[in-house]
Chain A
Amino acid sequence: MVNSVGFKDRVTETIKGKKTRVLFLSLLVIIVALLPLGVNNYIEEVMTNTFFYIILALGLNIVIGYAGLVDLGYAAFFAVGAYTTGILMRYGLNFWLTIPIAVIFCVIAGIIIGGPTLRLRSDYLAIVTLGFGEITRITARNLKVTGGASGLVGIQRPTIFGHKLYQITDFYYTFFILVILAIIVSLRIYHSRLGRAWQYIREDEDAAEAMGIDPVKTKLYAYMIGAAFGGVAGAFFAVKMTAISPETFAFTQSAMILLAVILGGMGKIPGAILGAVFLVFFPEIFREIGQMRMLLFGILLVIIMVFRPQGLWPERKS
């Protein structure tokens, strides 16, 4: 006779155990790493797109999930990154050198956006970030250096160790590596002194302030680091697409990234990944119904929020 209680306990213990988790994760990484061997270009393209949104979602997760700040204009950072790389490469700079410059520009943009607004009420912050997103897009459309309404075209493909990245499989692995880096950075930050300060502020700003945490400065770091993620993603986006236009960075784009974070559950890395996967796969699966899918998407979003306002896979509060 099997002792059912003991058996159940043992099973849950095995499932929740660290060993199982490591095994499961490594299996997942191996499957994803080997995927291009067995699937067609379409799946690879969708997966690459998913990776891209995972990076953006992880970046925005730092702002929204960790620090609890609203940002409805995240596409602006991603735009600054993409345009910086695009423009500098036009002047002959090596792609890999443009990345740190793109990151610096994004961090500056984060300071410009965050600096004056972080003292505001949070719903004002929502509209100001939205406004900044629009300003970025309109500026890109009006300036000569950004190519006006038609944007930048013919951005060169980068080379690494003499190998030119141009096939979809190349970008699949490039973005896959970036996702892993983004996850590691996210995890490290979450458990750092700064990460704990963000969570503290998010839960109780007054108490955090009383403990000697400077809320404005700490929040500003969240914007800066979130912006840096957007910048890196934007730089790689520019070379993958070889063409960028202002409309790529419209509000819908910011809304999409935001939805990935919120759907998955704020503050949790697997949540943000799940959200991004859902976000890319949903329109792909329902490609046949055409424009109806966005309508369905809106309705679904409301339904999810009404029944699970904390997201699909929220952070466990201890």
Chain B
Amino acid sequence: MHVMTDFYIIIQQLVNGLILGSFYSLVALGYSMVYGIIKLLNFAHGDIYMVGAFVGFGALGLFGSVLGIGWLGITAALVISMVLVGFLGIVIHRVAYQPLLNKNAPRMSLLITAVGVSFTLFNAVMVMTSGEYKAFTTSLSYDGISVGPLNITYTQIIMVVATAVLMLGLYWFINRTMYGKAMRAIALDQDACRLMGINVTKTISLTFFVGSALAAAAGVMAGVYYGSIHFYMGFIIGLKAFTAAVIGGIGSIPGAMLGGLILGLLETAGTQLPFVGSAWKDVFTFGILILLLVTKPTGILGKSEIERM
């Protein structure tokens, strides 16, 4: 009997870890894509996730009366948030980063600009929401598949499936379309791409669009899943997603997906360990990051290269 209960707890935690990992993966993808293409640590990426959650929240408020606050309304809010935040990503790239890229400014300046963008987004949302928590109200039920004490809700299943669909879509986009090919080419050699007639700036903008849209999707899904959002939610997930991207090998798309899932599972497992618990779980995560960076800085699927800022 005791063994069975343990087994159920493990499965339940596995599911929780998988969902957390899905959010990490979606955010990590944006980090990794932007890093892969212009070697910029887009510090504001966590805040883009947060803005995504708030745009989705607003969209659900606006259209909720027409479409309801069930799956239809949520899907509409998700799509609206992805598109709007995607464009926000383009604006950020054009206004804040591209002028510096044109000037060939030091990488440190780019990093600081990213901190500035993060500050701007963070404080803009804080002013607009007066720093309050917002309840992300939906009409989703807690129904699901129950086996003994184990309960996996349909919401959880749909979250994981939706993440998988988004990732497969991204995989197709990167590997099977001309735009994706252009992105991969720019990551290898920008100057050669320019000579081949690829519009480099536009492609970078597109990368920002896709990365930001994925982060927005994660933001909306996290809002739906956890039921409340606030302006501070982007900071820690930005750090975690970066960790995920590094675990998988930064710059690598499958790496970001894998890294997010591994981190989500590790972290959920960590909260079950004695001496870790939920109070120390962030320390546990950063501990993993540091350990990994020291032992295998290229990550699981990353290429090895030596670079200096």
Contact = CB atoms under 8 A, between A and B. Distances in A.
Tell me if A's interface is mostly helix, strand, loop or mixed: helix
B interface, over-half SS: helix
Contact of B307 (A121, A131, A259, A291): A121
Contacts of B289: 127-128, 131
A170 interface: no
A93 to B, nearest CB: 28
Contacts of B41: 123, 126-127
B122 interface: yes
B107 A122 contact: yes
A17 B39 CA distance: 44
Contact of B116 (A116, A132, A298): A298
Interface of B: 39, 41, 95-96, 99-100, 103, 105-109, 111-113, 115-124, 126-127, 131, 235-236, 239, 242-243, 246, 279-280, 282-283, 286-287, 289-290, 293-294, 297, 306-309
Contacts of B131: 291
B150 to A, nearest CB: 31
28 contacts: A68-B309, A70-B108, A117-B290, A120-B293, A121-B306, A121-B307, A123-B41, A124-B246, A127-B239, A131-B289, A131-B290, A134-B286, A135-B282, A135-B283, A138-B279, A142-B279, A251-B235, A259-B112, A262-B109, A295-B124, A298-B118, A298-B124, A299-B116, A302-B95, A302-B120, A305-B112, A309-B100, A310-B106
A302 B91 CA distance: 13
A258 interface: yes
Interface string A187-219: 000000000000000000100000000000000
Contact of B111 (A126, A251, A300): A126
Ranked 5 nearest A-B pairs via Cβ: A298-B119, A301-B116, A298-B120, A122-B309, A309-B109
Interface of A: 64, 68, 70, 116-117, 120-124, 126-128, 130-132, 134-135, 138-139, 141-142, 205, 251, 255, 258-259, 262, 266, 291-292, 294-295, 297-302, 305-306, 309-310
A138 B236 CA distance: 12
